[in-house]
Structure 1
């Protein structure tokens, strides 16, 4: 039997991971010092650029393989709330925070529900019910 919900969540998890890897690597490839300068210019400490870019890349990879899905979902919720409030809100909905809001909702879903299909978490954190049903 096909697990449509599991496949849907897997798609959300993998695509969100790819998007965050893209955003993180763009910060590094564009010159992380430039990104740090931009953070300074909007009133955030420049060193946060290094932290944010690293979290985006590492968290994106973790989401793709399904490792710490709920944890990284929560971290991405925090990052996106910060991005919306500090940067995107002033630009309005369209051309501003609409995209980040969609990513925020996907991240919140993963935080609340996780994603077990084809995930490392599924194999690392098997419940007692799963272990006894396999015996």
Structure 2
């Protein structure tokens, strides 16, 4: 299984699925729930500067997810999204238990670990980063 083609295919699949998850969450904040409702939710959770935080989170998730899908600036974006998720853990998920059904730590921890895998292993050759760094 330690063949470059298999590794690159696995990284591509991993990156695309993770990116789609982030795009969906950013899209939901901006266009489905809307920024007003999401701001109220952030405010109830005690997130500082809830309006600004909603915009930062939504745009970071939407654009960061898209960058993960295509593999552009991948390690930087994955690191930034991991920091965003750590903030989400602190403000939203820390006191909610473990399981995702109670808005607990389960999902954000999985996302953070997944993002760290991308930071460590990179985007693979099947990415814009991979194309730009071939020499």
- Above 0.5 in TM-score? yes
1:32-90 deviation per Cα after TM superposition (whole angstroms, max 9, x unaligned): 12212222222221211001100100011111100011011101110111111211121
Q: 1:124 offset after TM fit, Å?
A: 2.0
Q: Unpaired segments of 5 or more residues in structure 2?
A: none
Q: CA deviation at 1:121?
A: 0.7
Q: Does 1:19 align with 2:21?
A: yes
In structure 2, the residue matched to 1:113 is: 121
Residue of structure 1 equivalent to 2:54: 49
SS of the counterpart of 1:3?
A: helix
Cα distance in 2 for residues equivalent to 1:33 and 1:90: 24
Please give the TM-score of this superposition, normalised by the length of structure 1. Answer: 0.87
Question: Does residue 85 in structure 1 map to residue 90 in structure 2?
Answer: yes
Are the counterparts in 1 of residues 89 and 108 from structure 2 also a CA contact under 8 Å?
A: yes
Q: Give the drift of 1:27.
A: 0.3
The two structures, once aligned, show a CA RMSD in angstroms of 1.5
Uncovered stretches (5+) of structure 1, i.e. residues with no partner: none
- Relative to structure 1, the CA distance from residue 61 to residue 91 in structure 2 (aligned partners, 3 Å threshold; closer, same or farther) is same
Q: TM-score, normalised by structure 2?
A: 0.87
Please say which structure displays the higher CA radius of gyration: 1
Gap change, CA 1:31 and 1:15, over 3 Å in 2: same
